[in-house]
Amino acid sequence: MEENKIEKTIKTPSLGLAVLPLIFMFVVLFTGLIIFKVDIKVLLLLCAAFTIVLCMYLGHTWKDVENEIVDKLAKAFPAIMILITVGLMIGAWIVSGTIPFLVYIGLQIINPRFIIVTSFLVTVILSVSTGTSWGAAGTVGAALMSVAAGMGAPLPAVAGAIVAGAYFGDKMSPLSDSTNMSAIATNTNLYKHIGHMFYTTVPGFIVSCAVYIIAGISFASSGAIGQVDEIIKTLSQLFNLSMPVGLLLLVPPVIVIYGSLKKKPTIPVMFISSAVAVLIAMFVQGFSFETCAASMVGGFKMEMFVNPTVDLENIVKEVPNLLQRGGMSSMMNTALMAFCAFGFIGALTIAGCLDVILSQIMKHIHSTGQLITVTAILGVIIITVIGEASVTFLMIGGLFKDEYIKRGLETKNLSRTLEDSITVVEPLVPWSLAGVYMTSTLGVPTAQYAPWACLCYTGVIFAIIWGFTGFGIAKIKKGGDNYDDYVELTGTEL
Q: Tell me, what's the pLDDT at 6?
A: 45
Closest CA to 97 of 251, 312, 260: 251
Pure H helices in 351-482? 353-362, 368-386, 389-406, 411-418, 433-442, 446-449, 455-469
Measured between alpha carbons, how far is 142 from 338 in angstroms, rounded to an integer? 31
Question: Which residues make Cβ contacts (< 8 Å) with residue 12, sequence separation at least 6?
Answer: 58, 352, 356
Strand, helix or coil for residue 86: helix
Quick one: pLDDT at residue 154? 85
Q: Cα–Cα distance between 277 and 284 in angstroms, integer?
A: 10
Q: Give the per-residue pLDDT at 175.
A: 81
DSSP bridge pairs for 409? 475
Q: Cα–chain-centroid distance for residue 439?
A: 19
Looking at residue 219, its pLDDT comes to: 65
b (16+ CB within 10 A) / e for 51-87: bbebbeebebeeebbeebbeebeeebebbbebbbbbb
**C-alpha–C-alpha distance, residues 192 and 476, integer Å:** 13
CA distances from 418 to 116, 130, 184, 215, 412 (A): 28, 21, 12, 30, 10
Which pLDDT score is estimated for 341? 81
Residue 445, helix vs strand vs coil: coil
Q: How far apart are CA 264 and CA 310, in angstroms?
A: 41
Alpha-carbon distance of 171 to 17, in angstroms, equals 35
Q: Hey, how many other C-beta atoms are within 10 angstroms of the C-beta on 152?
A: 12
DSSP tag of 173: -
CA distance 384 to 404: 24
DSSP 325: -
What confidence score (pLDDT) does residue 420 get?
A: 94
The answer to whether 365 and 374 are in contact (CB under 8 A) is yes
The amino acid present at 465, given as its one-letter code, is I
Predicted local confidence at residue 56, as pLDDT: 93
Residue 183 neighbours by CB under 8 Å, 6+ apart = 79, 82, 189, 190, 193, 415
Are residues 397 and 414 in contact, defined by beta-carbon separation less than 8 angstroms? yes
d(CA 481, CA 483): 6
Under a CB-based contact definition with an 8 Å cutoff, are residues 266 and 190 in contact? Answer: yes
pLDDT mean by block of 10 residues, the chain; 494 residues: 55 92 88 85 91 94 91 80 85 91 79 83 87 78 74 85 93 86 88 93 95 81 56 88 92 84 81 96 95 95 80 78 83 80 85 84 88 92 76 84 91 94 90 79 88 94 95 90 87 80
Query: What is the structure's pLDDT at 386?
Result: 67
